[in-house]
Every structure is written in C-alpha cells, then in structure tokens.
Amino acid sequence: MTRITHIIAGLTVAAAYIGSSGNHTYFNAAPLLLTGMVGGVLPDIDLVLGDSRKKNTIWKHRGIAHTLLFLVICIFGIIYFKEKFIHYNISLKSEITVFALAFLSHLFLDSFNMIGVPFLYPITKKGFCLHLFRVGTIQEYGLVTLPMLAVLIILVLNFVPKEDIYALTHNQYFIRKFL
C-alpha cells in the first residue's frame, strides 16, 4: 500500500478508538491521532533504514519491521519513552492500543498485495499475502483508500473535538513532514 493509504488507516483506527471511548476532550484526541498515524506508517521505516539493493539485510522492505516481533519491540519503546520523556494527559493503555491497532492495520493492508508480510518472523520467513492487487493501482485507491477516507471523515466529524482537528491541520511543519 502507499503511504497515504497507511496514514488514512492509522488515523481511522485512532478516530474509531476516540469515538468508542467517548472520554477524549480538547487537545486530548490530537496525540492519539498522531499515535495512530505513526503506528500506521512505522512498519515502512525499513524503506528509510534499508538498502533495497541488498536482499539479505535485516532492514529489507517487508522484513523485520513488518512483523509482530517489531510491534512488541515498539510497544516496549513506547512504554519507556512515555515514562521518561513524554508527559501529556493520555493513558498509556490508550496510546498502546491505538498504536498497536494502527500498526496491525498496516500489516493487514500490506497483505492484500502480491509480496506478502512475514507476520511470524523470525519463527518463519514465509510471508502471508492475499494477492488482491498491486500497490498504487486504481484497485488500491478505489477499494481501500477512498472508502477508508470516507469512514475517517465521518468518524472525525462525529467524535474528534474541533480544537484537535484545528491543532493538527494548522501545524505546517507537521503537515509537510508526514504528508
């Protein structure tokens, strides 16, 4: 899947969580939306850290970063950094839940294409794939990205405080960096 599809998926997961919990108020939902977005794109860190020309590297695309093991490592990282450095009014449980669901949405969506995802690496290197369509095609955008965007808009308009939407959309550095 493309980066925009993963960003929309992560935001959709976060907005659904915010809506289902019902207790997020002004400037409380924005960190969860950001957590969902990061969780939705983080498995593709291998594109930044890896060398696509080398097949036997730990950071090859759809390698270690696309596994449940990497998700567990990231969760421990969140726990550590939240306790040491980050102090805002979001429960650790909420952050981990949103991050994990967004991360899993990335793995699930990547399993739609032809390459597959090695969920259980290092137990097995075999990738799981559904062979539904190729990345960046009209099928991806028409069957996944646009419907998910519609759901995201509905969730945000119904559940996310307007102040949080403003905070996220008016930070130009944030918008340029992640989109």
pLDDT-derived band of residue 7, with 50, 70 and 90 as boundaries?
Answer: very high
Contact 157, 137 (CB under 8 A): no
pLDDT in tens, 27-85: 467 788 889 999 999 998 887 776 655 565 566 677 788 899 999 999 999 999 888 87
Mean pLDDT of 162-171: 65
Percent of the chain with pLDDT over 90: 25
The answer to whether 14 and 36 have CB atoms below 8 angstroms apart is yes
- In the structure, what pLDDT confidence band is assigned to residue 173 with cuts at 50, 70 and 90? very low
pTM above 0.85, yes or no: no
pLDDT score of 69: 94
DSSP state for residue 128 in the 8-state scheme = B
- Report the interhelical angle of 29-41 vs 92-110 (nearest 10°): 30
**Residue showing tokens 């097949």:** 55
Domain boundaries, the chain: 3-178
Q: Which pair of tokens denotes residue 179? A: 């989109």
Q: What is the dihedral of CA 8, 10, 13, 14, to 10 degrees?
A: -110
Higher pLDDT, 117 or 171: 117
AA letter at 174 = F
pLDDT band at 139 (very low <50, low <70, confident <90, very high): confident
Torsion-angle region of 27 (φ positive above 0: left; ψ -120 to 50: alpha; else: beta)? left
pLDDT in the model for residue 170 = 61
Mean pLDDT, rounded, of the chain: 80
pLDDT at 90 (0 to 100): 75
Reply yes or no on whether the pLDDT at 146 is more than 80. yes
Checking if the pLDDT of 26 tops 80, the result is no
Q: What pLDDT is attached to residue 51?
A: 60
Task: Assess whether pLDDT exceeds 50 at residue 179.
Answer: no
Would you say 24 and 32 are in contact if contact means Cβ atoms under 8 Å apart?
yes
pLDDT at position 166: 67
